[in-house]
Amino acid sequence: MKYGKILAAVIALGMTSGLVADEKSKTLKTQISTDYVKQHYDIGTAFLPNGEQYIVTPKIGWGVRAMEKGAGVDISTSVSGLVLNHGEGILSYSLPKMQYLVYVNPKEEASMVYGLGGSFGGFHSSHADFVGLMANGSIGFEMNRTKKLRSMIQVDGALPVVAIFKQGNTQKPLFEVSFNLGY
């Protein structure tokens, strides 16, 4: 937990540091806001391509979200997978995923959130293997935004774009539906 808070503070420093004129002394000082940095834990379901069908698997994740003035950045990781028949399995991961976020109602207690970004990740199934860069998009609804414990329902999509390793048909998107808790 300690390292997560340190990472969050570093991200906040990079995002929210700015020079502000001090009216009384006319000097410049650095204004740093960490009020908008939150960790989040995700649990949900992933829909992973396996040939012509999609397999439903459990999904877990962790990330850090920094927000300011209706926009933000999310850096996260997730893994999903399942052991299928005869020891075969299906697996998907992203490490890390980075997205730029926009809040529709940033000053409200609840807001829709849209995000675009990319990730380094991969997936493995009996029909395809992929390791490389993926394009990511998300839409969610964040609640309890003024509370210490926030919650969010989110749908993510990922599409393999640039392969380091690839085998089989890797052009199908991956989807995740998750419930997030952040503090």
In this structure, what token pair is assigned to residue 166? 């690839």
The full length of the chain comes to 183
**pLDDT at res. 61:** 97
Whole-structure pTM value: 0.75
Residue-wise pLDDT for 107-141, tens only, equals: 888 999 999 999 999 999 988 999 999 999 999 99
pLDDT at site 5: 52
Both tokens of 124, joined, read 């493995």
Helix or strand (DSSP H, E) at 7:
helix 2-16
Average pLDDT, the chain: 82
Q: Which two tokens stand for residue 146?
A: 């003024």
List, for residues 49-60, the tens digit of each pLDDT value.
988 899 999 999
Alpha carbon 11 to chain centroid, angstroms: 14
Contact 160, 130 (CB under 8 A): yes
Do the beta carbons of residue 21 and residue 32 sit within 8 Å? Answer: no
Domain topology for 36-182: Porin (2.40.160)
